[in-house]
Structure 1
Amino acid sequence: MPDFDPQDLADRYIAQWTLPDAAERRAAVERLWADDGAHILQPPVEIRERAAGLGFGHTTLEARGHDAVEARVARSYEEFVEKRGLTFRPRADAVRLHDVVKFSWETVSTGTGEVVGGGLEVLLLGDDGRIRADYMFPGA
């Protein structure tokens, strides 16, 4: 696996979610993610509670492969950045242990600069340093 700064990876990872240009987002996804990489999201508590009420014991959402990950990133951009005036930024806490990188991030109002949310990211990397699995925990 290539040697790299985990904070640089965290910065580039978060930047993909805030790119307004679709071609730039696609290029970022292809640079960061393995061809069959998976984005696995633990939904917010209210969604997990509704799912549990319907009899689902475990609830996760998953996007796999460049097309699905790109669609996920684009929808997040549209919903949070375009419509709600938010942005994302990594905290300066990225650490690497072998092929795993862990870091926290914040959701920030572009109008006030107020932190309105955030989460924890755990990335499992392939031998080439690209993301094989991304475990996202919003609200963590």
Structure 2
Amino acid sequence: MDTAQQLADRYVAVWNETDADARRTAIAALWAPEGEHYVGAREVRGYEALEQRIIGSHEKNVRDNGHRFRAVQDARTLRDVVTFHWEMLPADGETVQATGLEVLIVDPQGRIRIDYQFIV
């Protein structure tokens, strides 16, 4: 099983992934089959819905606006909960454009069952 920081780094990498097949494989490796993701009023469940959510964010933030995401090195675990912060930055710079907090509930295999995303 990954450490909390390894999970955070893998999680953020999926939102930056440009290759559709690699993204799909990463989603299946990170989330449980009926994994849930919540941000604001948006709710998605299952691999297909997660993929569409991630594609939408990728197209808007990475592809069209030239940003990248990175995990802050503050991931921690308490029982089945992993928390960490993330940052959105220009692809070629270090000026933070947005930040967020992830609260993940993982299954015994370390796959994400529930993903609560708070944009700060």
Judge same fold: TM > 0.5, yes or no: yes
Matches of 1:131 and 1:110 in 2, distance apart? 27
Query: CA separation in 1, counterparts of 2:5 and 2:94?
Result: 22
Q: Larger radius of gyration, structure 1 or 2? A: 1
* Structure 1 gap segments, 5+ residues each: 43-59
Give unmatched runs, 5+ long, in structure 2.
none
1:137 pairs with 2:118: yes
Indicate the residue corresponding to 2:58 in structure 1: 77
1:97-126 per-residue CA deviation (whole Å, 9 max, x = no partner) reads 010000000010124331111100000001
Distance in 2 (CA, whole Å) between partners of 1:15 and 1:98 is 24
Counterpart of 2:29 in 1: which secondary structure?
Answer: helix
In 2, the alpha carbon distance for the partners of 1:112 and 1:100 equals: 31
Q: Distance in 2 between matches of 1:129 and 1:112?
A: 32
- Find 1:5's aligned residue among 3, 25, 29: 3
1:39 & 1:6 partners in 2: Cα distance? Answer: 18
1:127 maps to which residue? 108
Q: How does 1:19-34 map to 2 (within 5 A)?
A: 19-34=17-32
Q: Does 1:93 align with 2:74?
A: yes
Given the two structures, how large is their TM-score scaled by the length of structure 1? 0.83
Deviations 1:36-95 (A, max 9, x none): 0001002xxxxxxxxxxxxxxxxx210100000011111111110000000100000000
Figure out how many residues of one structure are paired with residues of the other and give that number.
120
Structure 1 stretches of 4+ with a deviation exceeding 2 A read none
Percent of counterpart pairs with the same letter?
A: 43
